[in-house]
Amino acid sequence: MKTFLLTPAFILVLLNLPVVSGTITGKITNGTRGYSVPNRFAIRLTRYTHEGEDSQFEMETSVQSNGEFIFRNVPDTLQMTYVPVVVYKGVKYKGTAVTLTRKVKQGSSTLTIYEPTHSDSLLQVVYHHILIKPGKGKALFQEILVIENMGDRALIGSDSAQNGGLHSLFFPLPPGATEVSLDKGLMSCCVKITSDGLYDTMEFLPGRKEFVFSYRIDTPEKTLNLTRTIALPTRLIDIIPIIPAVQVKGSGFNPAPLEGTQLIRYSRSDIPKSEKITLSIVGLPGKPVQARYWFLGGMALLLLAAGGYVILKSRRTLAPQKAHPEMETDAKRNQNPEALIREIALLDEAFEANEIEEKEYRIRREELKERLQYMEMSVPESQQ
């Protein structure tokens, strides 16, 4: 009688064998009024592990005339997540995720497709926050927009004579903007950055989506004048300097305290598309005058040559400090005042839109206010 040894390699083979054979059903609907799902529409199943999408796995089936589909004999090694995917008129759509386990061998998914459009006439900016973090010689700007597609079609973009190709959304940049960073809702693979702004080439489905990006502008003077063109109808735009000494002046912009803080937000409502707004940001630190430091350094050398040790020592105690370094980037956003200001603003918007209960809203807002007040007390006077 032969004896079989369970070698490590054999054990790995056993562990990688499918432990369940499941079934995933679902239905596709067309979210555009008056349109249906095409007959014999192909749909594929993708698989995800804790490391991401499994590029080696793929199943495919056909959608029936009523939009229903079924994947049989779906393998699973302990636990996997499956997502149905279709490409309809050039746009990729994903269904709700399904997880199969040893105990759960069946699951259901839903998926909605839309007819495409090139028109952005049903888009609007729900709110647009601009945070300003001044520094000596430069200022960091962060823009947060929530844009809503109020229609029932997927915006796939229109031709851009300036940029070439299709773009769905355009985010203007002020003159002199550098070090552009794409933070949320914008992917470097699908955004084209030019001197006048950001062109997003991704489709925009019905509903709301948040976009965040940032950039720097040189501010050698204490006043910065900017002219912006409104790309989409905007219900609310507000500008929030995170240093109280900095003020914003602009036609139609009204100052109001940011509740629970020492900061001021400058707001304006209901701005039509293509309108140009002019802003003056005053009270900036400006650029340090380097000639002053060269002069004082020369005086120190002169005193050394003269042998005035006592006088030299006293002058050293009065020597100017180094210029304030360039503003740090947000390595830990939850430790920066501008991040807390952004959280408070977004929380206010969510409460006004009835997206959060009042009790939870009050508790979270009080926590954010306390953290922000603590940070404001910790800011050196030289930065205010």
Note down pLDDT in tens along the chain; length 384 residues. Answer: 445 454 444 444 445 554 557 899 999 999 999 999 988 789 999 998 888 888 888 899 999 888 999 999 888 756 788 999 999 998 999 999 998 887 888 899 999 999 999 999 999 999 999 999 998 899 999 999 999 999 999 999 876 545 456 789 999 999 999 999 999 999 888 899 998 899 999 999 999 999 999 999 999 999 999 998 999 999 999 999 998 899 999 989 999 998 888 899 999 999 999 999 999 999 999 887 654 455 555 555 555 555 554 444 444 444 444 433 333 443 344 457 777 787 888 878 777 777 778 877 777 887 777 777 666 555 554 444
Give the Cα-Cα-Cα angle 142, 375, 145 (nearest 5 degrees): 20
pLDDT at 98: 92
What's residue 346's pLDDT? 81
Measured in degrees and rounded to the nearest 5, phi and psi for residue 89 equal 50, 45
Give the pLDDT score at 246. Answer: 94
Output the pLDDT for position 303.
54
Domains in the chain, please, with CATH?
A: 15-113 (2.60.40.10), 123-282 (2.60.40)
Q: Which residue has the tokens 């851009």?
A: 160
- The per-residue pLDDT for 209 is 95
The region, left, alpha or beta by phi > 0 then psi within -120 to 50, assigned to residue 73 is left
Amino acid, single-letter form, for residue 5? L
pLDDT of res. 268: 95
**What pLDDT does 297 receive?**
58
pLDDT reported for residue 164: 53
The predicted pLDDT at position 295 comes to 52
